[in-house]
Each structure stands twice: as C-alpha cells, then as structure tokens.
Amino acid sequence: VALVGGGPGDPGLLTVRARQLLAGADVVVRDRLAPHMALPLDVEVIEVGKTGGGPSWSQRDIEALMVERALAGNRVVRLKGGDVHVFARGIEEVAACLAAGLPVEVVPGVSSALGVPALAGIPVTAQGVTQSFTVVSAHLPPGDPRSTVDWDALARLGGTLVLLMSTARLAAVCDALLAGGRDPQTPVAVVEDGTLSSERVTIATLATAGQLAHVQPPAVVVVGEVVAARLDHRHPAVPAAPPATSPAASPAASPATSPDA
Ligand SMILES: C[S@@+](CC[C@H](N)C(=O)[O-])C[C@H]1O[C@@H](n2cnc3c(N)ncnc32)[C@H](O)[C@@H]1O
C-alpha cells in the first residue's frame, strides 16, 4: 500500500513519486479533495470522499478496504488531498496496514496549507514581516469542549495563521481571535478552490472576514500581515511604458536583489 499525498488539487503539483505509484497501481482509493488526473483505464478508482453532501465512508471502512484489496494482491494507492499527515488521518491508515502485515510507503504531498497561499501569491513568511506561521484546524469551533486549540494563545502568538476547515466557522474564529486581542485591522485572505481554475481569492480584515457570506469550502484562510505583501504573480499588472526620453537601463540602475533570494 502506498499512502500518497496528492497536493491541493492541481495535478501538476503531484510529486514524481506519486505519479510513478499511480502509474503502477491496480486500485486507487481516492479522497474528494485529491487531484483528478488521467489514470490508465485498467486502474480501479474507488471514491471514498463525501460528494454532494452525501454520506462518506467511515475511516474504519476505508482502512478495511485498503487492507482487503492489498491482501488480495493488488497494488493499492491511497490518494489523499494535500499531505498525508496534515489533518488527514494518515497515521491510522499506516497502522491498519502494518497491523495486517502489509508494507507501506508514505509519499508526502504539497499541503494546501502551504501550496494554496503560495499559488495565490501570499507568502506565509516574509522578511521583515513575520518569521512564523501556524497551521490550525478549525474543524471544531472555538469554545467546543472537544477542541484542543487555544484561540487566546493563537491570538497572542501573532505571526501568520493558516486556517483549514474554517469556512463554516469563520465568524466564530474571527471573533475568538479578536477576543484574544488580535488587531481588527489584521489582513485576511480567503482562498477557495485553491490551485484550481475555479479558485477565488477574497481579501478582508479580521473585523470584516466573519461577515463574508459567500465563502464555500474547500478554502484556506490566511490571517496576518503577509496578506498585505501579496503579489499576484499569475496576473501581473502591465508595467507602464517608460517615458520616451528615459535613459537606457544600466546594470548599476538595476534593482538590488536580496543576498539570500
Ligand atoms: C481534511 S483537511 C485535509 C488537508 C490536506 N491533508 C492538506 O494537507 O492540504 C481539508 C481542508 O484542506 C483545505 N483544502 C484542501 N484543498 C484545498 C483547496 N484546493 N483549496 C482550498 N483549501 C483546500 C480546506 O481547508 C479543507 O477544508
């Protein structure tokens, strides 16, 4: 069995090893947010993610399926969205395979926590802006007794916050960060369907993001000053034509590049 992180959605972000394993697979057990890509016709693809609000497979049933197919002699690829161990229950699947005596390969993927902001032009760290980022699941809302997230501490921590699974709880999350003392003017970016052609980026502040009514999952929410450093490299503004009398550019006039760029 290979547990493969497929990246945030764009098949171009699959790793070389992921492609090799997919090319040799007999069965692909696929999550809903894993990338869609062309596979050989003889590969059996089993969708185990929730679609259209319908029921999803239980974690236990997914593990049983993987084990059953592998014990039957199939090369099984468990294709997950993003990275296998970022809010993905990957370790439970590794344990199930090992308990059944099956060898397991783990292939890391580009997590949406990093890949989605990067493609949207948002650096999660930037020199002189912030030197830290924290990735948080908001699957359980602030105040839920089952949650292990200390939202007050997160608010005080500063730096960049990257929130996953937060769309349905965005107002509560913003309120919790504001209550913890984070500046209401802190910029916020909501990136829906990141890396896909349907991607949508909305910029707000911590004071206003909770009122964004249109936000749909999947989305990555970035909170922090790095949002203001965003450069949309995919849609650069057309530079103004230089004045006709402008002297020719010389090497000495070139902008300086950072020594560690
Ligand atoms: C159950 S978590 C799995 C995370 C995944 N293992 C990873 O590393 O990206 C699912 C969450 O990832 C985020 N996500 C995954 N793909 C995304 C995408 N293409 N655009 C925006 N957010 C995405 C959303 O916050 C979504 O609710």
- The answer to whether 187 touches 228, Cβ cutoff 8 Å, is yes
The amino acid at 90 = G
222 backbone dihedrals φ, ψ, rounded to 5°:
-115, 125
**Catalytic position from the list 26, 37, 152, 165:** 165
Name the pTM for this structure.
Answer: 0.90
For 180-218, what is each residue's pLDDT tens digit? 999 999 999 999 999 999 999 999 999 999 999 889 999
For 67-92, what is each residue's pLDDT tens digit? 999 999 999 999 999 999 999 999 99
Active site residue 66: no
Indicate whether 39 pLDDT > 90: no
What is the rounded distance in angstroms from the CA atom of residue 221 to the CA atom of residue 191? 6
What is the rounded distance in angstroms from the CA atom of residue 181 to the CA atom of residue 244? 52
Q: Is 109 left (phi over 0), alpha (psi -120 to 50) or beta?
A: beta
Residues within 6 Å of ligand 1 by CB: 8-9, 33, 80-83, 86-88, 111-113, 116, 164-165, 191, 193-196, 217-220
Work out which ligand 1 atom sits closest to the CA atom of 191: 21
Active site residue 144: no
